[in-house]
Structure 1
Amino acid sequence: MKHTNLQKEQQLALALAREASAAILPLYYSGVDVEDKEDGSPVTIADKRSNQIILDGIQKAFPNDGIVSEELDTLSGKRFWYVDPIDGTKGFIGHSDQFAIHIALAKKGDTPMLGLVYKPTTGEYYITARGEGAYRVNPDGSKTQLQVAGDREGLRIVTNMTFTLKQRTLVDILQADKLYMGGGLGLRAMRVAEGLADIYIKDSDNGGTWDTAAPQAIIEEAGGIVMRLDGSPVIYSGQRGPSERMVFSKNRDLGLYVADIVQKYVK
């Protein structure tokens, strides 16, 4: 795999995630007012504050890069940063720790080459740059290289905490022997990157590229694959979304098998 020289970009992403975390944690503990966006999803002053910190930092360091963010009109460039200032806003509002900050980077027309999923409540994070390995870094600074699961009997699936009827149908059809339930998309997907689960199915077209870019970079560097339900790769060209249904899988064969079932039975 081709190595990239993204040390400066990685350091920037991590510094901005830490700065944004410090700004939003007091709001997490005190509580915030909630507004509804046009699509019905919630947004808070914490989302906006985190977004502004990350936006300002990227523009200062890399003024020619584009930015795609949930809380911002797209800024154009040859490279695009994909920013979700709080992935899992409902968890943030509900004082759950199941939310994270996402920052990713991709050249136009490519898969993400850098990804960070940062957990503000603990300081734990998942990070990668293409060709450099993917890692989970603990609050004490110790780190573990991520590797998706190998061959094994049974199937371990990740779903969200609401566990909808169509997700239950899918679990029953696949006869999953273990089910992980998580909060934000990024933290769900990290179960696959860590080898704790075999596949995460994003079974709706909700959200945007800011949700999926960072987790995709990490899973693919850990040896897994992210694909649309037709088996094609998920490519980033500065688009916002809406995001598509896709699978985050430990390997292509499992991804294709599950994607086929989703298309046939889960509408």
Structure 2
Amino acid sequence: MKPRSGDWAVTIDFLQEAASLSNSSNGKNDLQTEADRSAQRCILASLSQQFPEVTIIGEEGPSFCEVPSDWVVTDSDPEVLKMACPAYLQNIDDKDVVIWVDPLDGTSEYTQGLLEHVTVLIGVAVGDRAVGGVIHQPYYNYKRQREGGEVEEMGRTLWGIVGGGVGGFVPTSAPEGCRILTTTRSHSTPVVQAALDALQPDEVIRVGGAGHKVMMLIEGKAHAYVFASKGCKKWDTCAPEAVLIATGGRLTDLHGDSYKYHKDIPHPNTGGVLATGRGQDHDWYLAKLPDAVRQALV
């Protein structure tokens, strides 16, 4: 489907296009580097063909390689296209749109066989703001399928547009009467642990990938995602932030500042990540963090 003029850049058309092509990301049977590069080549080629004037920033850097024609995805879901584009996203100038792509979020877990942690992230920003995102989980249901259970389809795609709704899942609030945090599985430090301890959790779930951690919030499996480290990048958070905000949640750094996603912004998220699910008091979490943790993230 060809993009419509005026509101093309951030309409449902675009996000469904992103969801479709994330489903076909190549390299899932290869090792880390080739999987990343193959998936990104597929995504960048498909997006560039459909939306040639936008800025696309991928984790693996720019790609100038030709890709096979069957890697280029143009499908769209007609049911999703029936939805209206939010008024504030209509008539967007191409130059104001940036697409942030992480072709394989949770790469370390991917190479270790922890496939449920792996996501493909495609985030859309207009100006400074994350406004739309796709989180594709290619190995959703893989354990059940491997064990011979009934599986309608392996893999799923979640998406959200700020002010426009969500799809692919039903947002769920985390249980009351307890505090469940999710954080890094493989990049813990004394500062990361100090932030967790200050929030006095009843449970800490350590998983890989920013996309997977935010999925835990929107599905009610955790109340907050806390990562007191400079190790995250814009392509890790743009898509998850947009989907989270669309459900009523919030994502900032550990100083309480929102991240910016324009094309000239440095890629590292040097202030760490604090994300909270819907119904959570984000400011309460910020207030509980020790000054020493904030100072480590300046």
TM-score tier, shorter chain, comes to 0.7 to 0.9
| Residue 127, structure 1, aligned to residue 163, structure 2 | no
Q: For 1:73 and 1:262, how far apart are their aligned partners in 2? A: 37
Is contact 1:146–1:194 with CA below 8 Å preserved after alignment? yes
Q: CA deviation at 1:207?
A: 3.1
Matched, 1:8 2:32: no
CA gap of 1:171–1:230, structure 2 versus 1, over 3 A, is closer
- Letter of the structure 2 residue corresponding to residue 84 of structure 1: D
2:276 counterpart of 1:249: yes
Is the Cα contact below 8 Å between 1:104 and 1:213 reproduced in 2? Answer: yes
- 8 Å CA contact 1:229–1:260 kept in 2: the answer is no
Gaps of 5+ in 1: 33-42, 138-143
In structure 2, C-alpha distance between the alignment counterparts of 1:52 and 1:112, rounded to whole Å: 23
**Percent of residue pairs bearing the same amino acid type:** 23
Structure 1 residues 251, 265: CA separation in 2 closer, same or farther (over 3 Å shift)? farther
Q: After TM superposition, what 4+ stretches of structure 1 lie above 6 angstroms from structure 2?
A: none
Distance 1:176 1:88, change over 3 A: same
CA distance in 1, matches of 2:282, 2:273: 9
Contact kept? 1:189, 1:200, Cα under 8 Å: yes
Residue aligning to 1:103: 122
- Mapped to 2, the partners of 1:131 and 1:70 lie a distance apart of 27
Q: How big is each residue's C-alpha offset from its partner over 1:64-103, in whole Å with a ceiling of 9 and x where there is no partner?
A: 11111111249x9320111001111101111211111000
CA distance in 2, matches of 1:263, 1:62: 44
Q: Is the 8 A contact 1:64 1:77 kept in 2?
A: yes
- With over 3 angstroms needed to count, the CA separation of the structure-2 counterparts of 1:149 and 1:95, relative to structure 1, is closer
* Correspondence for 1:186: 211
Aligned to 2:200: 175
For normalisation by structure 1, the TM-score amounts to 0.80
Q: Is the 8 A contact 2:196 2:226 kept in 1?
A: no
Q: Per the alignment, in what secondary structure is the counterpart of residue 206 of structure 2?
A: strand
Greater strand fraction, Structure 1 or Structure 2: 1
Question: Following TM superposition, by how much is the alpha carbon of 1:147 offset from its aligned partner in structure 2, in angstroms?
Answer: 4.1
Letter in structure 2 aligned against 1:7: I
1:217 aligned residue (210, 233, 242) = 242
Check whether the contact 2:171–2:247 (CA below 8 A) recurs between aligned residues: yes
Aligned to 1:35: none
| Counterpart residue identity of residue 94, structure 1 | Q
In structure 1, C-alpha distance between the alignment counterparts of 2:28 and 2:266, rounded to whole Å: 27
How far the C-alpha of 1:261 sits from its partner, in A, is: 3.6
Report if aligned partners of 2:192, 2:229 keep a CA contact under 8 Å in 1.
no
Residue aligning to 1:18: 23
State how far apart, in whole Å, the 1-side matches of 2:266 and 2:41 are.
18
* TM-score, length of structure 2 as denominator length: 0.73
Q: CA deviation at 1:175?
A: 1.7
With over 3 angstroms needed to count, the CA separation of the structure-2 counterparts of 1:251 and 1:100, relative to structure 1, is closer
Count, aligned residues? 238
- Per the TM alignment, residue 18 of structure 1 is displaced from its structure 2 partner at its CA by 1.1
The answer (yes or no) to whether the contact 2:247–2:278 under 8 Å persists in 1 is no
Letter in 2 for 1:64: E
How many angstroms apart in 2 are the aligned matches of 1:210 and 1:148?
A: 26
Decide which moves more: 123-132 or 11-20. Answer: 123-132
Mapped to 2, the partners of 1:202 and 1:15 lie a distance apart of 30
Deviations 1:215-234 (Å, cap 9, x if unpaired)? 10111011111122232222
Q: How many Å separate the matches in 2 of 1:241 and 1:262?
A: 24
Q: Is the 8 A contact 2:121 2:133 kept in 1?
A: yes
1:89 is aligned, of 87, 104, 107, to: 107
Q: Larger radius of gyration, structure 1 or 2? A: 2
